[in-house]
Amino acid sequence: MIEELKVDDLAVKVYQDRAKMGEAAASAVGERIVKLLSQQEYVNIVFASAPSQNEFLAALIKQTGIDWNRVNAFHVDEYIGLPENAPQKFGSFLNKKIFKHLPFHALNYINGNAPDSFAECGRYAELLQQYPSDIVCLGIGENGHLAFNDPHVADLNDPVRVKIVDLDFECRRQQVTDGTFDNLNSVPKLAITLTIPTLMAGKYIYGIVPGKNKTIAVYNTLYKKISEQCPASVLRTHPNAVLFLDGDSAALIKS
């Protein structure tokens, strides 16, 4: 670890590179799962889907001593309207990176192709109410979003658990920059997302945010006013949140 600090209630840990960051985050999450399983029958985990999570997920599936048969998995968001076999679907991403590798008790996918997207939001919200999140693993977008809560649709006091959102230009452009889509026109404009209060309801939050393209977002998260202008800034109010960074994403952190 290069540096460790705290900004308001948010613990921040900086590592030399993405690999070390991912390993540290996976170790922390793994230890938390084991501890929770010693106290309760099942653990509910919400996962994010993005290239920023690659190192973390690769390290998490290698953690030992975890009874994955007692872990229920969810994810934070999903595009609306992609073909069922599209590799860009977040359910497909998580299946490839982690779900197919471990014997989870239950995999709970958001259906971005449900006939009624509003009904799908309700269905998933009910699941989250029935299985409250113990651990939320997430990233931060270049525009400061959490899940698909872009600044123009984010609500720190959102009254619903899951909702349909339209994605802003910066968010959609990031999907191209990340190499997920070939061009902007192929990026869906609508998605289903867990809302800010739903994410913040997790007992423990682990943010995994590497890369030069996240430098400004990390700075805004840590030092700008807590507001919808940078949705991720709300992480500073959570008593059990940890932000894992690499040297690139932490470049503007104040010593």
CATH number of 177's domain: 3.40.50.1360
Q: Is residue 32 part of a domain?
A: yes
Mean pLDDT of 17-39: 98
3 state DSSP class of 184: helix
Mean pLDDT of 110-132: 97
> For residue 197, what are the domain limits?
17-210
- DSSP letter at 87 equals T
Alpha-carbon dihedral sign for residues 184, 186, 189, 194: negative
Q: Is residue 232 part of a domain?
A: no
Mean pLDDT of 151-164: 98
Under 8 Å CB-to-CB from 130, ≥6 apart: which residues? none
The pLDDT of residue 179 is: 86
Question: What is the C-alpha to C-alpha distance for residues 65 and 46, in angstroms, rounded to an integer?
Answer: 20
The pLDDT of residue 9 is: 98
Q: How many domains would you assign to the chain?
A: 1
Question: What is the C-alpha to C-alpha distance for residues 124 and 110, in angstroms, rounded to an integer?
Answer: 7
